[in-house]
Structure 1
């Protein structure tokens, strides 16, 4: 990757606040490029952390810029749909066969082949650390003709969904040099990544030979601006066309037609320690549930820019409202006179305020509450070790496969790796296991909701609200993606009038 001296994020944010026009290229109307969709100026929140390697979280940037692509994509329901693979079928208990699309070329002109797919998937499977989507998965890809056969160590009904993860993007051979992966000029998408300037910017041009059809915009000019106020100012001042992750505090400063609120698959949840202490008692957990006024949290802390939670899974999953809800929850007991300690972290700006509001609500109900607030890196280990009576967490409920079963296992199964509630409930374990083993589609979604109900009945976790991401678009932007999974932003159909 061609890297020039990078600008520290803090300095860049300050520079953008002081002289916003210097952070972006000229607007399409200034450049005369509007007739073909012009260039799109994008302000993004997080700079690359791993040189835009698709084997890291930087993969989501490549996906949002439509430069790197995967074998399949996910529809709104979370079902797999064709992309670089045109079809697939399960050929055995542990094997799947994917047919590779004809007529696709990488940005360097080399053809997409089954061998190229095998190489990319093999590199991902052997990476250290592995992409999250393959964590704990024994995974092998083998090419033959126009088909790639994927074999897993255990039966896995979610293989197609796994292959939708941006971390399993397929790149040209030139991208792989030793242990590094350089995506510059190596994708198959609507835009060609031409240059990446460290943590400051990236430049992409239209792929004139895109397999998916004509691309409307001439290119994309990306600037990374970690400071939320600076990003919002760039949109207000007309110096950016699309801005991701507008802070709640800045949204009211923008015109209503400049922002879109997109429900995120992320739930703000109070986890209660079921192993020891006050909340080992189901009646005490139920008392907490009844004491919480989630609507007050949404209105007061989030300024109405969030959704009151009806369950663990929120409106980002269009089928979540088919839930039964609690069917067998305990009755609330009188609050214990013992002091309970609630932990949370400062990394998400709203959580300390959520904790303070929640503390008052529980005190009003008769609980004695102490707060402990630290940076996440300094509090996670204690939370997982069960050192708090309760813990407030903003938690992604749909991990890279687009399926909530992995979240339900990690957070609520007896052997879950992220079981902050220390829950060990045979009914929950059985329901989660059934959800994991059910084939994708409506049957699996129903099993997931059954597992959610089993968790809700324990009151081990009290879902409070579902967060939204606020995206900013200039009024002359057409066709930007509003994606709850944050995999898409600019597509072949996005342009500036």
Structure 2
């Protein structure tokens, strides 16, 4: 009997939103032939491929959510590392781990071998930019004896099994990196037909659609659906209507404004580890001044966002980590050393956000009103995410409103703090560089005991909040629309999985 994939054990889901609207070919049921072999699933997705379906960037989550890619490990329902392509692992010393592979094949028919796994991880370390899970990490992978892979890190990394669960560290076959495709050192590999998941990517139509077929030799068992027809529909209302009119079986990221339009049996809410925050540019502009950051933080009333903007589908911001991170509340530390507030005197600030998540422009508008009431003059800038990220990371805005799943990239709370708030962080939208923060994160990174690491993460969170570089606004719930004829959709609080072998209609 083949092992059951961990995804079936999860209870919680998530989404993502963006780009072009589109329609499915037809409503109605599958043909007799299709029904006999498992119906295809029609899925309305919010975010289109932003990087040609590279497994190293934002598209990595898209691939994992559709059941295309897998890593050596995955997250279980408690947020711990669980077996995936690696059946087990042991730690040889502080910097070296041995991962024993299970018997599996790539979608091109070749075996998952230690050499192939080591090569895939090596390619990830050479990617530009490096996958978020590897930010600040030096990693070397090599074939070991038997069916094992030896992974060595430059520094001790107690969270390595969690890190390897990242969608950005998916294992692809050597063909994905071949000279005929997009592979090669530092290049983006091609996941079409080269991954290990239950569904094989067979066609991508730009940023509007993708076709996936069942991979019958999947190690975790044959999927019940024969394939997936995905459409990328950026408009939340259009996405919801696709479900209501029978053109879609699953619609992710239903806007809260559309929730009432769905019957109760088709509307599913999931508490997630996603936090919507105001990030203030600490490197240049008005918010380089800690006193003005303090003023901005004091102007924010988080209850307004949870109650009015998210219509109750969110909790007021409490910290970087919200209530879906079940251990956080009991370990939270009160921030200390905050600067005193200063009078803005009409200082103009530019607040940017993206419209891929339909609530964010409204969040930014309400936030602008709160800041103006405190004495700032506010200019809003709203674009789609793919046209905004590089400018935000370059510090071209004074403030940025973003929705961030804090456990998406690695599952390790310390790693997200290192990525988002340290001097060398790869996704540091606040451009924060504070020696006390770096010290607190570094201390947390060195701990292997789970409880101690969690407490150190909360100590580091307090240091970050004390700079007023980030103002947590809400901790989100996500609404997913699912037709009543569909079973087995994965409601994942970590936003990594949507469809697996048990999803069917």
Distance 1:125 1:337 in 2: 44
Structure with greater Cα Rg: 1
Partner secondary structure for residue 372 of structure 1:
strand
The structure with higher relative contact order (CA 8 Å, sep 6+) is: 2
Residues 325 and 259 (structure 1), Cα distance of their counterparts in 2 relative to 1, 3 Å cut: farther
User: Hey, what does 1:143 align to over in structure 2?
Assistant: 143
Kindly indicate whether the alpha-carbon contact (under 8 Å) linking 2:371 and 2:377 is maintained by their aligned counterparts in 1: no
What is the number of equivalent residue pairs in this alignment?
474
Distance 2:280 2:218 in 1: 51
Distance 2:170 2:431 in 1: 36
Partner secondary structure for residue 93 of structure 2:
coil
Match of 2:474 among 451, 455, 465: 465
Match of 1:373 among 351, 372, 380: 380
User: Hey, what does 2:417 align to over in structure 1?
Assistant: 408
Residues 340 and 26 (structure 1), Cα distance of their counterparts in 2 relative to 1, 3 Å cut: same
Partner secondary structure for residue 480 of structure 2:
strand
Partner secondary structure for residue 230 of structure 2:
strand
Partner secondary structure for residue 88 of structure 1:
strand
Map 1:20-419 → 2, pairs under 5 A = 22-24=24-26, 26-28=28-30, 31=32, 33-34=34-35, 37-102=38-103, 104-144=104-144, 145-178=146-179, 179-180=182-183, 181-271=189-279, 280=289, 289-326=297-334, 328=336, 336=343, 338-348=345-355, 349-362=358-371, 367-375=374-382, 388=398, 392-413=401-422, 416=425
Cα deviation, 1:31-54, whole Å, max 9, x if unaligned, reads: 475566422111222333444343
Distance 2:123 2:215 in 1: 25
* Mean CA deviation greater in 168-177 or 478-487: 168-177
Residues 62 and 391 (structure 1), Cα distance of their counterparts in 2 relative to 1, 3 Å cut: closer
Kindly indicate whether the alpha-carbon contact (under 8 Å) linking 2:422 and 2:438 is maintained by their aligned counterparts in 1: yes
What is the Cα-based RMSD across aligned positions, in Å?
3.3
Kindly indicate whether the alpha-carbon contact (under 8 Å) linking 1:325 and 1:456 is maintained by their aligned counterparts in 2: no
Kindly indicate whether the alpha-carbon contact (under 8 Å) linking 2:69 and 2:170 is maintained by their aligned counterparts in 1: yes
Q: CA shift at 1:241, angstroms?
A: 0.7
Residues 73 and 440 (structure 1), Cα distance of their counterparts in 2 relative to 1, 3 Å cut: farther
Distance 2:393 2:175 in 1: 44
Q: CA shift at 1:75, angstroms?
A: 1.9
TM-score where L is the length of structure 2: 0.82
Distance 2:470 2:192 in 1: 44
Residues 135 and 24 (structure 1), Cα distance of their counterparts in 2 relative to 1, 3 Å cut: farther
Q: CA shift at 1:369, angstroms?
A: 1.7
Kindly indicate whether the alpha-carbon contact (under 8 Å) linking 1:40 and 1:220 is maintained by their aligned counterparts in 2: yes
Distance 2:47 2:367 in 1: 30
Kindly indicate whether residue 456 of structure 2 is the aligned counterpart of residue 454 of structure 1. Answer: no
User: Hey, what does 2:486 align to over in structure 1?
Assistant: 477
Residues 239 and 141 (structure 1), Cα distance of their counterparts in 2 relative to 1, 3 Å cut: same
Gaps of 5+ in 2: 1-17, 184-188
Cα deviation, 1:66-119, whole Å, max 9, x if unaligned, reads: 2322111012333211111111122233221111113x2223332221122122
Residues 68 and 424 (structure 1), Cα distance of their counterparts in 2 relative to 1, 3 Å cut: closer
TM-score where L is the length of structure 1: 0.83
Kindly indicate whether the alpha-carbon contact (under 8 Å) linking 2:141 and 2:151 is maintained by their aligned counterparts in 1: yes
Distance 1:278 1:60 in 2: 32
Residues 141 and 460 (structure 1), Cα distance of their counterparts in 2 relative to 1, 3 Å cut: closer
Kindly indicate whether the alpha-carbon contact (under 8 Å) linking 2:166 and 2:408 is maintained by their aligned counterparts in 1: no
Q: CA shift at 1:309, angstroms?
A: 1.2
Distance 1:383 1:106 in 2: 36
Q: CA shift at 1:418, angstroms?
A: 5.8
Cα deviation, 1:442-469, whole Å, max 9, x if unaligned, reads: 3211211121123334544332212333
Distance 1:385 1:68 in 2: 33
Partner secondary structure for residue 303 of structure 2:
helix
Cα deviation, 1:126-145, whole Å, max 9, x if unaligned, reads: 33443332344332211122
Residues 27 and 266 (structure 1), Cα distance of their counterparts in 2 relative to 1, 3 Å cut: same
Gaps of 5+ in 1: 1-8, 17-21
Partner secondary structure for residue 320 of structure 2:
coil
